[in-house]
């Protein structure tokens, strides 16, 4: 695989992540304990219970290697429960006549890129996000879906990744988000809610 000209659409194939795929392919690891545990054990249970569906991007040059995994679920952004500032931030690109209390969204529940490929000049994670943006804008999107949302790990690296891929923080400050979540002072803010507006190019 040429790292300088890697194109996910050309150099990988997307498949539903089934037990058969997991058995055939080499064990997946993104060197994040929580994500590795989820993809190894919980992803299949989530699908059985209709709580989420996981997709794998498999290296066409070596079909035993999984490049990345993503788990998606239906969600909604509940504007009626937001502080005015956050609601205004979310709704500013929505026509007044269509502003409502809830907006359909797809949730990125988990996203992991194999540690074997991450950090080697490849932009697999960003290309997976680009694919998802196109997928939910295209005719293959079977229902209305305005936003892609994610509860991103509250660390600089993860938030920078989503920001550079066009995602915005719903709450401008940690304090604003902590207040909305009614966290006590000693409770950590482990994730930040971020959104991507599919209507915007």
The per-residue pLDDT for range 4-26, each reduced to its tens digit, is 567 888 999 999 999 999 999 99
pLDDT over 90 percentage in the chain: 63
- For residues 194 and 168, is the Cβ–Cβ distance under 8 A? yes
pLDDT score of 185: 87
Residue 113 bridge partners (DSSP): 68
Distance of CA 198 to the CA centre of its chain: 13
Which residues make Cβ contacts (< 8 Å) with residue 148, sequence separation at least 6? 105, 106, 107, 108, 129, 132, 133, 136, 167, 195, 196, 198
Instruction: Please check the confidence at residue 82 and state whether its pLDDT lies above 80.
Output: no
- Measured CA to CA, the distance from residue 78 to residue 61 in angstroms comes to 43
Find the mean pLDDT for residues 155-174: 93
Q: pLDDT tier at 121 (50, 70, 90 boundaries)?
A: very low
Q: pLDDT (tens digit, 9 = 90+) per residue, 87-104? A: 777 776 677 656 677 788
CATH architecture of 3-197: 3-Layer(aba) Sandwich (3.40)
Which residues make Cβ contacts (< 8 Å) with residue 39, sequence separation at least 6? 17, 28, 54, 69, 110, 112
Q: pLDDT tier at 117 (50, 70, 90 boundaries)?
A: confident
pLDDT score of 63: 95
pLDDT score of 98: 66
pTM: 0.89
Find the mean pLDDT for residues 165-183: 90
Two structure tokens written together for 199 = 């209507």
């Amino acid at each position: 695989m040429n790292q300088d000209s890697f194109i996910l659409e050309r150099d990988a194939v997307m498949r539903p992540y089934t037990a058969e795929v997991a058995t055939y392919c080499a064990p997946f690891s993104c060197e994040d304990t929580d994500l590795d545990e989820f993809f190894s054990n919980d992803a299949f249970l989530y699908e059985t219970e209709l709580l989420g569906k996981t997709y794998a991007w498999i290296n066409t040059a070596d079909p035993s290697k999984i490049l990345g995994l993503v788990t998606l679920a239906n969600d909604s952004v509940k504007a009626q429960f937001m502080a005015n500032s956050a609601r205004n931030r979310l709704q500013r690109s929505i026509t007044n006549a269509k502003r409502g209390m809830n907006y359909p969204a797809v949730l990125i529940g988990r996203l992991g890129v194999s540690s074997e490929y991450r950090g080697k000049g490849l932009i697999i994670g960003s290309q997976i996000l680009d694919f998802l943006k196109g997928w939910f804008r295209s005719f293959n999107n079977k229902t209305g879906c305005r936003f892609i949302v994610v509860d991103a790990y509250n660390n600089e690296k993860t938030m920078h990744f989503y920001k550079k891929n066009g995602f915005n923080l719903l709450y401008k400050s940690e304090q604003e988000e902590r207040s909305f979540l009614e966290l006590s002072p000693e409770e950590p803010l482990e994730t930040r809610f971020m959104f991507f507006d599919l209507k915007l190019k």
